Structure formats: structure tokens, C-alpha cells
Structure 1
Amino acid sequence: MQTKGHNGGGSFRDDVERGASVLLLAPSLHESTDSACLDLLSLDDPDEENLLWVTYTRSPDSCVQDWLGHAGERPDNMRFVSVGETTRSASAVSGSGGASPPGGDLVETLSSPGDLTGLGIKLSEILKEWSANDNHTVCCFHSLTALLQYADLQTVYKFLHVLTGRFEATEVTAHFHLDPDACDTQTVSTLTSLFDTVVEFDDGDWVVRSR
């Protein structure tokens, strides 16, 4: 793997290849993690992006507000798959700075956090819907730390193997949050092997490792 440092003060545009699957290894509750997440979702101008957010632990409302604070305008298309207890109605989000895309619901919900088959189907449907436009699709999966509370490592590994392959085939640039302090080193090592790039917060700096 190639390794390079990143001071966190700029964008990850030059560090991450388009269509890469990225493991974001960082503390769950940290300002730098939020900034890195938004940077990884900002690889193009907002009006040239489809933004897909899978969230187990954050409400779509807060994600939209963070995005608008970062980018200043909504992306061309924005969709959420809100899993488990964080599920919210689309109404509150749709009123946030005109964030609701025309002709479609902004938020889709999945009540069972361990239903990986259902999650995969929802994501495939969204990607198929967006296949007709020329935008670059970016995705945030927040988070693997939460998912591992509902499914064992082998099941998660198999799901991610299929999902990252699907993202690669459709040229989606996706990053997946994982808090290394919340799981053992074997789990981190096993999941790391699936990703093209690892972005890790280490001693106050970001380290980017790519294959």
C-alpha cells in the first residue's frame, strides 16, 4: 500500500480515486471525523453529485444541516437510507434549504438494523435510479461500528464484499465509518482488506493508505 500524510486542513480530492471504496478509521465522536466525512463527500461540485447517505446513528436532519453548512448548497440528488432507531420522516429534512429532490422521497427507512438483504436492495434501487444521469455518486455509510452490533463479522464481511463490488461497478466513491476503539484489532484487520483506501486518524493527523 502507498501511504501519505494529510494534515486535515484541506480536501481529500487528490488522495482518493474516483470509484474507490474507503474505510474511514476514526473516533465516532470527533470534529475531525465529521470534517473528513464531508471532505470525502465533496469530490465534485454539488451540482454534479448524487449523494447517498446510509445512517444507523445519525438523523438525516443533522446530516443535511452539516452538508449545507459545508457545501452551501444541496447536491443535484440526495437520498438517505435511515436504519433502525434513527428513522425519521422526510418532512423535516425536505424543508431544510430545499434539500428534497423533485419527484422522489428523500428518506427511505429500514426498521431492522440487521436486515442486510433489505439494505442491499434499497441501495441497488437508488443506484439504478441514478444510472441515467451523468453525476458522480458519492456515499457515506455511517457506520460499520453500529452495524457490527446487529450482525456478526462474517456476515458483515460478505455484505461489504458484495456492496463494494457493486459500488465499483457503478463507479460510486464510498466511505465507511469504523471506530477502531470500539472493536478488536482482528475486526479492523479483516474489514480493512476489503477496501481500496484506508483513511485513518492517527495522533492528530490523517494518514491515507491506498493499494
Structure 2
Amino acid sequence: MLEDAPLSIDSGGGGNSLLIAGPPMTGKYDLMLRLLADAGERGVLITTGDTAETVAADYAEVAGVDPASVGVVDCVSKQRGGDLVDREFVRYASSPKNVTDIGMKFTDLYEVFREFDTSVGVGVHSLSELLMYLDPQDVYQFVRVLTRQVESEGWTTVAVIGSTMHDEQTLHTMYEPFDTVINTREEDGARELRVRDRQQAATAWTTF
């Protein structure tokens, strides 16, 4: 999927956790979907801005799967109103303000997808939405628990954050739970990324 980018994920299950950080309109969401599709045979997404139907369809198009097979924790639809009942692979959290509820709904899906005995990519779009309502330390704790839970199954986590929406201290707090940070930017009309992990310096900027 990412032939032009210096990035690969072992879909056999390495328990990787990645954070995509960049300004608006630099392809963060699309990149997350592509990485998730590479990371596992199934996908579970926590969405703080779009409905379950939207993100399931977006992931399914990239991964080439049935949208009905995609797991989603929808954090927006209940907040917008409507009588919503959890479905087979969809759980509705009360709002992006309630990470305890989001965590419980995710754990519910986590137990469901463990039964399939397949590799799973877990996406979070996005941490910036959570940070609009919550203290960075609360979001940090949520992410730390989430990534450890996902890693315990050998699955991969890919989260997104808007780098221009937060101060440097908040960004570095959010970076800490992740093995790898992928920065995105737009340069001369082309989307580029670079990869940084704990063991090595950042790669060169590469078109994706």
C-alpha cells in the first residue's frame, strides 16, 4: 500500500503503535486508513468526528472488505441525538468527552474481535477531538491503556493528531505512548511524510 514511503508494518502482529501528526489537509486520515489496512485482516476504529457508517465505508474501500465487518466505536452519533442501539460490530459512546465510556465500548469490541483469531488494526481519529474537551493527562492515560491493551494481542494501533492545534508540551505528551511518530506535511502540492521512532533518527521526507 505504501510503496513510495519508508514505512512498513508487520501484519503478522508486532504490537506496533503509531501516531500520525501533521497540519490540516496533509492526508493524515487517508494515511491512517492505509496503514490500518496493511496492519490487519480486520479493522476497529474509534471515531470522534464522523459517524460509524462513514468511517466503516472509508476503511472498507481502502481495505477491500465489507463495511459491515468493520468494528467502530462511534463517539458522535449519540451526542447528536437519536435513539441508537449497539449493533454487532458498532458501539455508541456517549460523547468524545467521556473517555471512560469510550474505553468500555472499545473493550467490548476488543473481546468480540479477539474471538476471530486474526490480526487487527485499531484506529483512533482523532486525539485532537478528545483534547478539545479533556485535559492532556486524561487523554494520555486513555491512550496508554488503549495501546497496551491492543499490544497485548499483537495488534497495531494507528492514531491521528493535528500538530497545529496544540502546544509543544501537549504534543510531546501525546507522542510518549507511541512506538513511532509519523509526521505529515504538504510541500509544493505533494503530501510527504517522515518516520521517527524511539531507536533512530527521523527518516527523510518522502512523498506518499
The one-letter code sitting in structure 1 at the alignment partner of 2:62 is H
Mapping 1:7-26, distance limit 5 Å: 9=4, 12-14=7-9, 18-26=14-22
The answer (yes or no) to whether the contact 1:50–1:76 under 8 Å persists in 2 is: no
1:9 Cα deviation (Å)? Answer: 4.1
Mapping 1:150-165, distance limit 5 Å: 150-165=133-148
Does residue 106 (structure 1) correspond to residue 89 (structure 2)? The answer is yes
1:209 Cα deviation (Å)? Answer: 1.2
Listed one character per residue, the Cα deviations across residues 71-128 of structure 1 (whole Å, up to 9, x for unaligned) are 333279411111134688889xxxxxxxxxxxx5232111232211111111112111
Does residue 144 (structure 1) correspond to residue 131 (structure 2)? The answer is no
Match of 1:37 in 2: 32
State the Cα RMSD in Å. 2.9
The answer (yes or no) to whether the contact 2:32–2:123 under 8 Å persists in 1 is: yes
Which of 152, 156, 164 is the aligned partner of 1:181? Answer: 164
1:33 Cα deviation (Å)? Answer: 2.1
Does residue 125 (structure 1) correspond to residue 117 (structure 2)? The answer is no
Q: Percent identity?
A: 26
The one-letter code sitting in structure 2 at the alignment partner of 1:112 is S
The answer (yes or no) to whether the contact 2:181–2:196 under 8 Å persists in 1 is: yes
- Secondary structure in 1 aligned to 2:164? helix
- Secondary structure in 2 aligned to 1:105? coil
Listed one character per residue, the Cα deviations across residues 122-142 of structure 1 (whole Å, up to 9, x for unaligned) are 111211122222210111101
Query: TM-score, normalization: structure 2?
Result: 0.78
1:28 Cα deviation (Å)? Answer: 4.2
Mapping 1:191-206, distance limit 5 Å: 191-202=174-185, 203=187, 204-206=191-193
Between Structure 1 and Structure 2, how many residues are aligned? 189
* Structure 2: runs of 5 or more not aligned: 199-208
Pick 1 or 2: higher relative contact order, CA cutoff 8 A, min separation 6: 1
Distance 2:126 2:62 in 1: 20
Listed one character per residue, the Cα deviations across residues 2-45 of structure 1 (whole Å, up to 9, x for unaligned) are xxxxx884694348973111111023444x2233112111125x
* Structure 1: runs of 5 or more not aligned: 1-6, 92-103
- Residues 189 and 115 of structure 1, relative CA distance in 2, 3 Å threshold: same
1:158 Cα deviation (Å)? Answer: 1.5
Does residue 66 (structure 1) correspond to residue 53 (structure 2)? The answer is no
- Residues 62 and 9 of structure 1, relative CA distance in 2, 3 Å threshold: farther
Query: TM-score, normalization: structure 1?
Result: 0.77
Match of 1:207 in 2: 194
Which of 28, 31, 46 is the aligned partner of 1:54? Answer: 46
